[in-house]
Structures are given as C-alpha cells and as structure tokens.
C-alpha cells in the first residue's frame, strides 16, 4: 500500500525577478504513513506553508517529486490536480477563503455537492452535523462577513472535513481561536484521525498542540528535521558565552567611566558619599575582574 504523502528531494525556489531568488524549500524528503498525525514547527518564513502547498498540490515544486496516495502530482495539470484535492485532501488554511456570498451551512455543503455522492438531504444533514461538531450550531445561516475570525476558521474546518478526505492539511488551525475552542478543535481532529484513519499534517507555533501529534518535525531555513535544530531551541553555549563576555566588557567600560566622572565630581560631594560610592565601584570592579579572569581561565580570550 502506498503512503499518503511522500516528498522526494523537494525544492522550491521563488524567483522574484532582478536576480533575486528565495530558496523556500531546500530538498525536503518526507514520508507520512496512513493514519499518522504529524506536526510541523519552525520560525516564521522557514517554509512551512510552502511545504503544505506542495503536498496539497496548490503549487508546483522547482525540483523533486510530490506523491500523494501513490499518485505523482509533481507536474500534474490543474484540472486533474483540482480533482485530487477535492477527493483526497481537506484544507484547514487561515486564508483559504470561504465563499463570501454563501452562509456557513452552504459553504460546508459545497464540497459535498461537487463530490456528488450524497443526496441533497444527506448533504444538508451532514453539513449541520459538522457545524455542530465545531460549535457553530447557532451560526449556520451567517455569512463569513457576519462571523468572527475564529468562527470563520471553524467553518473552514467543518468544510475541510465534509468529504472525509484521507489527508488533512492544517496551517495553524487554532491560530484564531481562544484556548478552549482550540482544544475542542484539536480533540475533534484527534478523534477523526483515529476514527477515520485520516492522515494529518498540522503546522503550529504552539508546542502544546504539537505534542498532541505522534511526531513533530522541525523546519529551519527550508529544511526539515526530526529533532529541533539548535537555533530553534536555546542558543548554544558558545553564543551564550560570547554574549556574556560582551556584557562583562561593557560593564567594565561603564565602571571605568563612572570612576573617572566620580573623581571629577569629588569636590562637590561630601567626603562620606564620595567614599561610599568609590567603595561600591571598587567592589563591582573587583568582582568583574575576578569573573573575567575565571573566564580567561576556561581557555577563552576576551
Ligand atoms: N509567493 C511567494 N513569492 C515569493 N516568496 C515567497 C512566496 N511565498 C513565500 N515566500 C517566501 O518563502 C519563504 C517561506 O515562506 P512560508 O510562507 O512557507 O513561511 P512559513 O514558515 O509558513 O512562515 P509563517 O510561520 O510566517 O507562516 C519566506 O521567505 C517567504 O518570504
Ligand atoms: Mg505560514
């Protein structure tokens, strides 16, 4: 049996003209098995949405291969692609627009009407059921413009689930909703993942959400990793040590300047204050010099 998602050395270069190119994906190899639920994390601009666009056949890669359910969609024509999308993939994208003229109910019905597998009554019942599942039973007849961002997001989710696609691609599915609704949506996703054996790819910035999936992938600068790459987690020891040294040097400079200006102000200060301030500076200087010495003792030079 073929895997629902397989990417082989997928490269995406955006050509902005005038010789400016952006390497959004730098050779991605990724296999996702049936029924798997995976999360993708990574900083803004690292290529997460671009990757999802490739999997969903919304854009073509510059190089490499995209295989969905055993079908090579890499260079597929739009008409055929649209059919694959409709039959196999559910999109939960923040900016994957709802039809503004249609109510929530009609928006959710639409993909089922296109699929042509259910009767009018069945389609209506199922759309209502889905809207209930995402907590929108009281907004069924509202149009997108009459709903909040989070409500629109939930309509998108209901619509994505309508044809029970084998693959669901979600780009920050809980980005626009409050925490409680977010968890509700997530539980729904998890249950559907188990019940329907759907394959989920979820982009999220929230580590708590990512942890609920079976696997977490991390992206950085157009590449994908199974472990968090160093620069997306804590700064390395070397960077910390360098920043610390810079701080110590800055403090040393500041203290020396303060000592000079203290001497200049000496005549205006009463002797007791002068002595106190000088003592405090001296103590700080001593502490700092000791720290710098210790740091040099570790084999670093300032
Ligand atoms: N249509 C486009 N034309 C040119 N450059 C693009 C295009 N789409 C994305 N990019 C660039 O490609 C890189 C990856 O963008 P992408 O949208 O995949 O990032 P992302 O990881 O989803 O970020 P975010 O977390 O902010 O949504 C970015 O540098 C972006 O500016
Ligand atoms: Mg994005």
**CA distances (Å), origin 114, targets 23, 65, 157, 159, 255:** 36, 28, 17, 12, 74
Q: How close is the Cα of 280 to the center of ligand 2, in Å?
A: 52
Residue ranges of the chain whose pLDDT lies below 70 = 95-96, 229-244, 246-247, 250, 254, 298-302
**222 Cα–ligand 1 center, Å:** 10
**Cβ–Cβ contacts within 10 Å for residue 91, how many?**
20
Find out whether the beta carbon of 14 lies less than 6 Å from any atom of ligand 1: yes
Neighbours of ion ligand 2 (CB under 5 A): 49
Task: List strands edge to edge, sheet with 215-220.
Answer: 89-93, 167-171, 199-203, 37-41, 215-220, 223-225
Place of tokens 């001296």: 282
Going from the Cα of 94 to the center of ligand 2, the distance in angstroms, rounded, reads: 9
- For residues 4 and 166, the answer to whether their CB atoms sit within 8 Å is yes
Mutate which of 19, 22, 209 for ligand 1 pocket (most atoms within 8 A of beta carbon): 22
- Atom 30 in ligand 1: residue holding the nearest Cα: 45
53 lines ligand 1 (CB under 6 A): no
Instruction: Determine the pLDDT at residue 236.
Output: 54
Domain spans, the chain: 34-60+76-232, 237-297
- Is any atom of ligand 1 closer than 6 Å to the C-beta of 235? no
Helix spans in 134-236 (H): 149-161, 179-195, 207-211
CB environment 250-278: b (16+ within 10 A), e (fewer): ebbeebeeeeeeeeeeeeeeeeeebeebe
Q: What is the pLDDT of residues 223-265, one digit of tens each?
A: 999 877 665 445 555 555 665 676 677 677 767 877 887 888 8
- In this structure, whether the domain defined by 34-60+76-232 belongs to CATH 3.40.50.300 is answered with yes
Cβ(8)–Cβ(64) below 8 Å: yes
Find the 95 Cα to ligand 1 centroid distance in Å: 14
Q: CA-CA distances (angstroms) from residue 95 to 98, 153, 155, 178, 266? A: 9, 9, 12, 18, 66
pLDDT of residue 168: 93
Q: How many Cα atoms occupy the beta-carbon half-sphere of 21 within 13 Å?
A: 8
The ligand with the least distance to the CA atom of 25 is 1
Q: Is 301 exposed, middle or buried (0-12, 13-18, 19+ CB in 10 A)?
A: exposed
Rounded Cα gap, residues 61 and 10, in angstroms: 6
β-pair partners for 171: 93, 203
- Asked if residue 12 has its Cβ within 6 Å of ligand 1, the reply is no
């Amino acid at each position: 049996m073929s895997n629902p998602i397989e990417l082989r050395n997928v490269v995406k270069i955006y050509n902005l003209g005038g010789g400016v190119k952006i390497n959004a994906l730098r050779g991605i190899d990724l296999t996702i098995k049936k029924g798997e639920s995976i999360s993708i994390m990574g900083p803004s601009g690292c290529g997460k949405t671009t990757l999802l666009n490739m999997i969903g056949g919304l854009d073509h890669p510059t190089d490499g291969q995209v295989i969905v359910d055993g079908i090579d969609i890499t260079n597929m024509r739009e008409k055929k692609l649209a059919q694959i999308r409709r039959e196999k993939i559910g999109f939960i994208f923040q900016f994957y627009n709802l039809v503004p003229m249609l109510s929530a109910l009609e928006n959710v019905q639409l993909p089922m009407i296109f699929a042509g597998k259910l009767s009018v009554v069945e389609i209506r019942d199922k759309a209502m059921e889905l809207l209930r599942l995402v907590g929108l039973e009281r907004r069924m007849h509202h149009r997108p413009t009459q709903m909040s961002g989070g409500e629109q997001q939930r309509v998108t989710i209901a619509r994505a689930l309508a044809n029970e696609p084998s693959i669901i691609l979600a780009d920050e599915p809980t980005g626009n909703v409050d925490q409680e609704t977010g968890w509700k949506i997530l539980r729904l996703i998890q249950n559907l993942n188990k019940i329907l054996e759907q394959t989920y790819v979820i982009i999220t910035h929230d580590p708590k959400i990512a942890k609920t999936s079976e696997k977490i992938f991390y992206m950085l600068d157009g590449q994908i990793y199974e472990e968090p790459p160093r620069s997306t987690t804590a700064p390395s020891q070397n960077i910390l040590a360098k920043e610390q040294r810079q701080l110590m040097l800055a403090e040393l400079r500041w203290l020396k300047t303060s000592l000079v200006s203290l001497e200049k102000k000496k005549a205006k200060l009463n002797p007791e204050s002068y002595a106190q301030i000088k003592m405090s500076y001296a103590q700080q200087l001593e502490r700092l010099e000791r720290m710098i010495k210790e740091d040099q003792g570790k084999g670093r030079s300032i």
